[in-house]
């Protein structure tokens, strides 16, 4: 998701900060998608120990992507990995790069120094890290620049964004607004938006829809 964020930040000229976007009126009408699931599955994710070569690195803070104990923000060389997970089967090591939505196992990162103290407030409640929506898209918690559509943050970016279009194709981004509706079936307010050349309205909303959430990983 960091590559997605860099592309978005470059498009609006505001890398590394929270960005508020005023969209040109009128906004597209909301489009509702009926739930295709009877109940949203909520998974407290813990990866298995992956096979393959180990890497060495260090963690300096709690994860931004996963708001719970045992999840970390780490580096291997100049690359940031968030989240990395402490698991019971490993000592002095964490698992980074795992992705339950794609069954990617990740890799073991041996710690060059002890883990930091967790800096999460006791009042912080877990939020979705990954979500698989009923339309088949997967949306991931952003760990950098966050867009703001009509005063509502877009904390999750979705994999049906077209951040690097081919010649002749339009560039656009897809994400889920922060106002998730939790229940037996969670509902996500999904928005598709694109950059403009108008400084007063750097983004325009292309589509809004309400989509059921099939699976949540925390």
Higher-scoring residue by pLDDT: 213, 163: 213
What integer pLDDT is reported at residue 190 of this predicted model?
98
Average pLDDT, the chain: 85
For range 131-145, the mean pLDDT: 95
Residue 15 pLDDT > 80: no
pLDDT in tens, 58-95: 999 999 999 988 999 999 999 999 999 999 999 999 99
What integer pLDDT is reported at residue 121 of this predicted model?
63
Q: What percent of the chain is modeled with pLDDT above 90?
A: 65
Q: What 3-state class would DSSP assign to 185?
A: coil
Q: Please indicate, yes or no, whether the overall pTM of this predicted structure exceeds 0.85.
A: no
């Amino acid at each position: 998701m960091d590559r997605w964020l860099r592309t978005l930040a470059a498009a609006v000229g505001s890398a590394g900060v929270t960005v508020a976007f005023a969209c040109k009126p009128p906004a597209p009408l909301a489009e509702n998608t009926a739930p295709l699931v009877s109940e949203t599955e909520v998974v407290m994710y813990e990866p298995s120990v992956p096979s393959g070569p180990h890497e060495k690195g260090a963690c300096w803070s709690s994860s931004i992507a996963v708001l719970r104990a045992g999840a970390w923000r780490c580096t291997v060389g100049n690359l940031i990995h968030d989240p990395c997970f402490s698991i019971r089967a490993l000592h002095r090591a964490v698992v980074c790069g795992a992705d339950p939505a794609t069954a990617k196992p990740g890799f073991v990162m041996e710690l060059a120094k002890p883990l930091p103290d967790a800096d999460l407030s006791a009042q912080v409640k877990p939020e979705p890290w990954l979500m698989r929506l009923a339309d088949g898209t997967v949306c991931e918690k952003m760990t950098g620049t966050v867009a703001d559509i009509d005063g509502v943050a877009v904390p999750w970016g979705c994999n049906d964004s077209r951040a690097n279009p081919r010649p002749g194709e339009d560039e656009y981004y897809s994400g889920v607004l922060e106002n998730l509706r939790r229940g037996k079936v969670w509902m996500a307010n999904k928005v598709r938006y694109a950059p403009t050349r108008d400084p007063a309205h750097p983004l325009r909303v292309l589509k809004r829809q309400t989509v059921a959430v099939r699976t949540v990983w925390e």
